[in-house]
Each structure stands twice: as C-alpha cells, then as structure tokens.
C-alpha cells in the first residue's frame, strides 16, 4: 500500500477517534454492569451505529495493551472469543500495518464467519495513552476468501491509558463502528454489539490476570 496514502487515511481516522472520545453528546447507554458501560449513537459514516465501551481493567497499561494491540505479537487471538485469527498482511512502518482478522460465527450462527482487512495506526500521546486507529481498506494481497463474508470497519479502535494514582489499573475506551455486511436483521446486529463489547472487557480482564498474574 502506498505509504503516503496510508499515512493520510490513518491521520483522518486518528482525528475522528479523538473526536469520538471528546464529544459527549448524543450517547445513549445500552448496557452497564461489572464496571463496564456500553453506549451508542447513530454513525455518521454508514447507516448503522457507533458504539463506545468504557471500563477500568486491573493491570498496567503495558499489560493491557499487549493483550489488545492490533500488531504482530498481540495476544488478542489467544483470549478474545470474537477473534479466530490475526495476521499482518503488510507492515508499512513500526506503528502502521494492514491486518486481516477473522471472526467466528455468532448468535447461534445467525452471523456467519467474517473477515476484516484493516489499515491500523498506533499512536502514543503525551499522557502515556496508547491508541489504535483502524479502518477497512482493500489490499491486493488479501482478496475475499471462501467461507468468510468480508465485513467493513469504519473508523474504530481504542484508547488504553494510565489512571492517575493507580499504576496497576488501566482506563480502556473502545469504539466499534462495523458493517457486518450480508443480509442480517438489524435487531440481530443491534443486540450483538453491546453484548459482545461487554464480554470483551470481561474476557480481557481474565486474560491480563492469566498472562501477567
């Protein structure tokens, strides 16, 4: 992928992620519990929703990031039940790559296996927060594969940051804005994301404990 184009796309995505994080207007809570809050608002990118997850994870930001980072060496496919496999299609820089993620069937197989090809940029901010910033792209080395419906991630990612005075805890804010494609009833999609995001936080907490004690 052309590095200049990749940089341009990723900077736009990173700016949108910061806007999502800063803009408190229009969010409606759809799931709360176990210290995790999931909210949504209509997406400005496609006829679906933008979902926001917020929670505190027991573990240092470095430990949590190792579990969630969308880069080579991630532990994500070892603990996240919504990720079957993760591979790097192309490394563009140390902090930017094109990846392919596959997901299993879900909701009693109403949602068949998906795959996503994303351009990912990792940024580190002055306060120590690390962010992933991703959006789906087409890539010559990764055409659609048999057995998978190609989904599309509109600008999405996470902010993994320190908590002042709490060195062994991490604030994790996640954003999902995914077009699952295929002919899915909207009700299935609307119920799937809040439940899977809440499950993501619970599974992540167990993973950090498992890998780092």
Which residue ranges make up each domain of the chain? Answer: 3-212
pLDDT at 72: 80
Please provide the average confidence, as pLDDT, over all residues in the chain: 95
pLDDT at 107: 86
The DSSP result for 43-101, as a single string, is: -SSSSSEEEEEEEEEES-HHHHHHHH-SSTT--HHHH-TT-SEEEEEEEEETTEEEEEE
Over range 123-152, report the average pLDDT: 96
pLDDT at 109: 84
pLDDT at 183: 83
Residue 143 has pLDDT above 90, yes or no: yes
Residue 72: name the closest of 32, 120, 29 by CA: 120
pLDDT at 5: 97
**CATH homologous superfamily of domain 3-212?**
START domain (3.30.530.20)
Residue 113 has pLDDT above 90, yes or no: yes
In which band, very low, low, confident or very high, does the pLDDT at 205 lie, cut at 50, 70 and 90?
very high
Residue 184 has pLDDT above 90, yes or no: no
In which band, very low, low, confident or very high, does the pLDDT at 189 lie, cut at 50, 70 and 90?
confident
Give the other-Cβ count within 10 Å of 76's Cβ: 19
Between 26-30, 89-93, 145-149, 180-184, the lowest mean confidence (pLDDT) is in: 180-184
pLDDT at 39: 97
The tens digit of pLDDT for each residue in 155-180 reads 999 999 999 999 999 999 999 999 99
Backbone dihedral region for residue 107 (phi beyond 0: left; psi -120 to 50: alpha; all else: beta): left
The tens digit of pLDDT for each residue in 55-87 reads 999 999 999 999 999 888 889 989 999 999 999
**pTM to 2 decimal places:** 0.95
Share of the chain above pLDDT 70, in %: 100
The CA distance from 96 to 122, in Å, is: 6
pLDDT at 116: 97
Residue 210 has pLDDT above 90, yes or no: yes
The CA distance from 177 to 5, in Å, is: 22
């Amino acid at each position: 992928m052309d590095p200049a184009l990749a940089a341009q796309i990723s900077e736009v995505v990173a700016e949108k992620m910061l806007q999502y994080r800063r803009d408190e207007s229009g969010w409606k809570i759809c799931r709360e519990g176990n210290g995790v809050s999931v909210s949504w608002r209509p997406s400005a990118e496609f006829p679906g929703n933008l979902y926001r997850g917020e929670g505190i994870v027991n573990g240092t930001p470095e430990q949590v990031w190792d579990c969630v980072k969308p880069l080579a060496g991630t532990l994500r496919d070892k603990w996240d039940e919504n990720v079957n496999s993760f591979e790097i299609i192309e490394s563009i820089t140390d902090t930017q790559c094109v990846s392919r993620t596959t997901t299993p069937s879900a909701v009693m197989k109403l949602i068949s296996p998906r795959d996503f090809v994303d351009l990912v940029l990792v940024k580190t901010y002055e306060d120590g927060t690390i962010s992933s910033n991703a959006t789906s792209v087409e890539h010559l080395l990764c055409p659609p594969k048999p057995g998978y419906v190609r989904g599309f991630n509109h600008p999405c990612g996470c902010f993994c940051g320190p908590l002042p005075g709490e060195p062994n805890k991490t604030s994790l804010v996640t954003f999902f804005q995914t077009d699952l494609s295929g002919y899915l009833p909207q009700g299935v999609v609307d119920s799937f994301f809040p439940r899977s995001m809440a499950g993501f936080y619970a599974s992540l907490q167990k993973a950090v404990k498992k890998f780092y004690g």
